[in-house]
Amino acid sequence: MSSIKNKFSLPATRDKRVRTGISSNDFLQPFMQEVIRRMYELGKVRTGETYTSTLNSFMRFRQGKDVLWKEFDADLLVSYEAYLKETGVSMNTISFYNRILRAVYNRAVEKGLTAQNHPFKSVYTGIGKTARRGLSLKEIRSIRQMDLSSAPLLDYARDMFLFSFYTRGMSFIDMAYLKKDNLKNGMITYRRKKTGQLLWVKWEKYMQDILDKYPVMPCSPYLLPIIREKGAKERKQYINALHLINRKLKFIREMSRTSIPLSMYVARHSWASIAKSKNIPLSVISEGMGHDSENTTLIYLTSLDTSIIDEANRLILNSI
C-alpha cells in the first residue's frame, strides 16, 4: 500500500473509522476543519486562515495521518515542536501554532470528546520579546519628505503607509474596506474588522492630501484605491494590495535607511510608540487604536471623549 502523503487524503484513517465505528469528531482533523468552517460562517476570515495554516502545518508533520484525541498527548506535541525547530520555524511561530492547537483541544475537552490531560505542558506557548517595530518621528518625517514622483508604485506604498499612521495606526484591512460614506462631516466613522469596535477619527489635511492624489472611480463605494472592483474577489484584492505594498516598503526602507524593516503593521506600531513618547496616557492610546480587552497590557477606559484622542493625533501630526 502506498504511503499517505497528501494533506487531506486519509483513506486509511477513514477505513479505521468504518471498522471501529469511531466518530469523525474523535479525530483532530475533521473536528478542526469544522471549527474553521464555523469561523468562516461567522465572518472571522483571518482567524479561519490562521487556523487553517496551523492545521496544514500539523498534518505535514503527521505526513497526512490523522490522530485520535485519545492519542493527542504531551509526547506527540513535543515531537511536533522538535519537527518545527528542525524545519527552521521561529519560536514565536511555534508558540502561535501550539496556542491554536491548544484552543482547539480545549474545545474538544469541553464537548466531552477527550479528558483534559494537559498535553501542552512541555511545549512553548509563550510570547517572546520582539525587536522594536515602531519608527521615530524623524524617520516618519524622512519617509514623508521623499520624492517618489518618478516611481508611482513606491509612492502609492508610501502613501498607504502614511495614511495608516495619520489615522492612528488604522489596520490595513480597515483601510481597504473604508467606504466613501464612512467619511462625513470631517470625521471617519468605521468598525474595526478584528474587534467590531466603533471608532471615530477626525479628518485632517494630511489625510485629504493623500485622498486627492488617488481619485477613486465614481462607481466604487470605497474611499481608497485598494479594492478597485466591488464584488470581484474583494478579499483577494485586499491581500494582493497588502503584499504589493509590503514589497515596495522594503525598497523604501533601503532608500530611507530606517532603523527597522518596513511593513504596514509598522505604521500602527509607530503611532503607538510615538504617542507614548509624547506622554499620551496609555488609556488614550488604547482607545485611539481601537484595542480590545484582549490586550491586557494596556489600561482601558470604558468611555473617552473622542476630542482628547483627536488632540493626541493632531499633536503627533504637527510634530512631523
**pLDDT tens digits for range 275-292:** 877 777 777 777 777 765
**What b/e string do you get for 49-80 counting C-beta neighbours within 10 Å, with b at 16 or more?**
ebbbebbebbbebbebebbbbeebeeebbeeb
Whether the CB-CB separation of 8 and 59 falls below 8 Å is answered with yes
- State mean pLDDT over 22-39: 92
- 1.10.443.10, 2.60.40.60, 3.40.228.10, 3.40.50.1580: which CATH number matches 137-317? 1.10.443.10
pLDDT, position 164:
96
Q: List residues bridging with 184 in a β-sheet.
A: 187
* Domain residue limits, the chain: 11-110, 137-317
Of 56 and 195, the one with more pLDDT: 56
- State mean pLDDT over 5-12: 36
Least confident of 173-177, 205-209, 215-219, 281-285: 281-285
Over residues 151-196, the pLDDT tens digits come to 999 999 999 999 999 999 999 999 999 999 999 999 999 998 877 8
pTM over 0.95: no
Residue 307 in this model has a pLDDT that exceeds 70: no
**In terms of DSSP H, where are the helices of the chain?**
11-20, 28-41, 45-61, 74-86, 91-110, 137-144, 152-166, 172-176, 205-213, 234-256, 264-277, 282-289, 306-317
pLDDT, position 128:
65
Residue 253 in this model has a pLDDT that exceeds 90: yes
